[in-house]
């Protein structure tokens, strides 16, 4: 267990002094009392990005009021943001035609400025993070837990406010290696492959952290983040990975005596609300529309790369100002990263997926019904609540651009679905405009009180995003940050 940080009075005073000086400088610049050099003016221009407001979605009818309602009094509140920051190692000009900020020298100032803006949040989850030390400079009040898949130059990071939390425990889950059909058998080889039931090697991982409040009387929060497999034709693999990570969260809560803590599942899930993975996460007990059943069924294939999967060597590595979750972080090479398939254009052949075959019995590829049953067993109380999809944020702000209103469910043919209130887009490029990023609050376990979503980080209007991200003055990533405040 990591010990809580103990700041000396001198350190606290110096931090307050630096903050006051920074605020005074900003005010002087705003009032025109401080003359800036050309280089300073250029740096201010480089740091510009699209700022958004936090909007109340709680029970208070006065959206401008910060006063707690009777239900909220005496409860803890925290803000959490998740953001795919676009790893520099994955930037390909053909993926972002017309973008004016693909070089690191053009992206860096914007990324750091936006992260500094998010420093007001207690927890920040990042995906595709390949420059943790640089990002840490924008979050001096936070420290990080990080983990990556084998052969990857980027990974997952969870920053947390050190004045409020310390790490009780953390775990890195290798999604390729975990079993979708676990058993007590310790046999390896073909039987192990059958239990895994994976459709291909993805090198994706999930990061789970138990953050205990320093003065919270044993209270805390479990935060999990992931980046599910990206290829649009691999719906089966995304459902499999989401089942594995949810099952891992529940087991992690049990193992670390945090069943009473709220659990948040955040990240780039590479699934839209109109797809099966999302529906099973938020509404597992509602029958899937035929189009979503077909989506999974058509992706029940086995890729040649499955043969490359082998158990990791479990290690634990610590770094200055950072904690690395238990799990392997294999040294990487440029060839490893370029060969992993991320950042590629989608396969345009709608009838087949290259290098795949029909599954055999010993592959362990589950039918749709068994996948649904597995998700229902993990979430018997009902589905996860989405920060956006389960709230009426779209009716409370001057922004009616939700996933449902933009026609995202047209192919579902009127079946009962969830997610109409998700943002119109969270990934917005010249080529792809999709809703892929989520904050999901898992149901409270039996005998424990549920947490409530009290506010969200308002999505931008589509007209504010220009021709597509990354874009100077708007956002240095192809993904938009999403965030919420919870009360528990």
When pLDDT is cut at 50, 70 and 90, the band that residue 337 belongs to is: very low
User: In sequence order, which residues have a C-beta less than 8 Å from that of residue 28 and are 6 or more positions away?
Assistant: 34
Distance (Å, whole) CA 362 – CA 87:
36
**What's the whole-number mean pLDDT along residues 40-53?**
92
Least confidently predicted of 199-203, 208-212, 416-420, 475-479: 416-420
| Spans of all domains in the chain | 36-487
Pick the more confident residue, 335 or 385: 385
Mean pLDDT (the chain) is 86
**Helix, strand, coil share (%) of the chain residues, nearest 5:** 30, 20, 50
At residue 411, the pLDDT reads 84
Least confidently predicted of 262-266, 344-348, 385-389: 344-348
Asked if pLDDT for residue 11 goes beyond 50, the answer is yes
Encode 59-124 in three state secondary structure.
CCCCCCCCCCCCCCCCCCEEEEEEEECCCHHHCCHHHCCCCCCCCHHHHHHHHHHHHHHHHHCCEE
**What's the whole-number mean pLDDT along residues 149-162?**
96
Max Cα-Cα span within the chain: 74
At residue 374, the pLDDT reads 98
**What's the whole-number mean pLDDT along residues 407-418?**
85
CB neighbour class for 298 (10 Å; exposed up to 12, middle 13-18, buried from 19): middle
User: In sequence order, which residues have a C-beta less than 8 Å from that of residue 147 and are 6 or more positions away?
Assistant: 155, 156, 172, 205, 207, 324, 325, 327, 329
Please state, in angstroms and as integers, the Cα–Cα distance from residue 241 to each residue in 104, 237, 335, following that order.
31, 6, 25
Global pTM?
A: 0.87
User: In sequence order, which residues have a C-beta less than 8 Å from that of residue 467 and are 6 or more positions away?
Assistant: 98, 430
**What's the whole-number mean pLDDT along residues 442-470?**
96
At residue 188, the pLDDT reads 56
Task: Tell me if 325 sits within 8 A of 207, measured CB to CB.
Answer: yes
Share of the chain above pLDDT 90, in %: 72
Condensed to tens digits (0 to 9), the pLDDT of residues 300-334 reads: 999 999 999 986 644 333 333 345 554 333 333 34
Residue with tokens 């459709």: 199
**What's the whole-number mean pLDDT along residues 328-346?**
41
**What's the whole-number mean pLDDT along residues 66-92?**
83
Distance (Å, whole) CA 487 – CA 358:
47
**Which CATH number, 3.90.1170.50, 3.30.160.150, 3.60.10.10, 3.40.50.620, labels domain 36-487?**
3.60.10.10
DSSP letter for 350, please: T
Phi, psi of 67 (to 5 degrees): -70, 135
Task: Tell me if 470 sits within 8 A of 99, measured CB to CB.
Answer: yes
Condensed to tens digits (0 to 9), the pLDDT of residues 230-284 reads: 999 999 999 999 999 999 999 999 999 999 999 999 999 999 999 999 999 999 9
* Tokens describing residue 324: 């690395």
End-to-end Cα separation, the chain, in angstroms: 23
Asked if pLDDT for residue 340 goes beyond 50, the answer is no
At residue 339, the pLDDT reads 43
When pLDDT is cut at 50, 70 and 90, the band that residue 346 belongs to is: very low
Listed residue (261, 266, 77, 81) closest to 169, CA to CA: 261
Listed residue (485, 482, 486) closest to 127, CA to CA: 482
Beta bridge pairs of residue 232: none
Beta bridge pairs of residue 174: 205
Condensed to tens digits (0 to 9), the pLDDT of residues 174-198 reads: 999 999 998 755 555 568 899 999 9
At residue 335, the pLDDT reads 36
């Amino acid at each position: 267990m990591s010990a809580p940080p103990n700041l000396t009075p001198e350190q606290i005073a110096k931090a307050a002094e630096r903050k006051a000086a920074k605020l005074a400088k900003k005010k002087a610049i705003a009032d025109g009392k401080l003359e800036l050099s050309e280089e300073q003016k250029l740096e201010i221009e480089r740091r510009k990005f699209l700022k958004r407001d936090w909007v109340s979605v709680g029970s208070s009818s006065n959206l401008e009021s910060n006063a707690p309602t009777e239900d909220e009094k005496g409860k803890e509140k925290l803000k959490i943001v998740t953001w795919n920051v676009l790893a520099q190692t994955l930037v390909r000009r053909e993926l972002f035609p017309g973008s004016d900020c693909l070089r690191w020298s053009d992206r860096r100032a914007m990324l750091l400025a936006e992260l500094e803006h998010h420093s007001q949040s207690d927890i920040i989850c990042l995906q595709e993070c390949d420059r943790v030390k640089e990002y840490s400079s924008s979050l001096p009040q936070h420290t990080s837990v990080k983990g990556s898949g084998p052969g990857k130059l980027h990974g997952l990071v969870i920053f947390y406010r050190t004045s409020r939390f310390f790490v009780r425990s953390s775990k890195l889950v290798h999604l390729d290696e975990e079993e979708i059909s676990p058993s007590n058998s310790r046999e390896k080889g073909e039987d192990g492959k059958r239990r895994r039931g994976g459709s291909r090697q993805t090198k994706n991982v999930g990061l789970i952290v138990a953050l205990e409040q320093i003065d919270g009387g044993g209270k805390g929060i479990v935060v999990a983040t992931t980046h599910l497999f990206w290829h649009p034709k691999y719906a089966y693999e995304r459902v499999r990975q989401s089942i594995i990570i949810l099952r891992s969260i529940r087991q992690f809560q049990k193992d670390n005596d945090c069943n009473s803590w709220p659990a948040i599942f955040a990240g780039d899930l590479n699934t839209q609300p109109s797809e099966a993975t999302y529906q099973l996460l938020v509404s597992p007990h509602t029958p899937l529309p035929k189009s979503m059943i077909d989506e999974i069924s058509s992706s029940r294939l086995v890729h040649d790369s499955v043969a490359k999967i082998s158990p990791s060597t479990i290690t634990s590595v610590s770094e200055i100002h950072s904690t690395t979750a238990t799990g392997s972080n294999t040294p990487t090479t440029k060839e490893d990263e370029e060969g992993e398939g991320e950042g590629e254009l989608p396969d345009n052949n709608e009838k087949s997926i290259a290098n795949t075959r029909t599954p055999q019995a010993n592959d362990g590829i589950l039918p749709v019904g068994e996948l649904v049953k597995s998700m229902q067993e993990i979430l018997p109380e009902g589905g996860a609540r989405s920060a956006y999809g389960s709230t009426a944020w779209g009716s409370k702000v001057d922004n009616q651009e939700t996933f449902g209103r933009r026609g995202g469910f047209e192919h579902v043919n009127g079946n009962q679905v969830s997610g109409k209130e998700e943002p119109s887009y969270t990934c917005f490029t010249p080529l792809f405009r999709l809703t892929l990023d989520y904050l999901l609050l898992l149901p409270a376990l039996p005998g424990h009180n549920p947490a409530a979503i009290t506010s969200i980080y308002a999505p931008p209007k589509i007209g504010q995003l220009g021709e597509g991200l990354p874009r100077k003055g708007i956002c240095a990533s192809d993904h938009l940050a999403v965030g919420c405040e919870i009360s528990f």
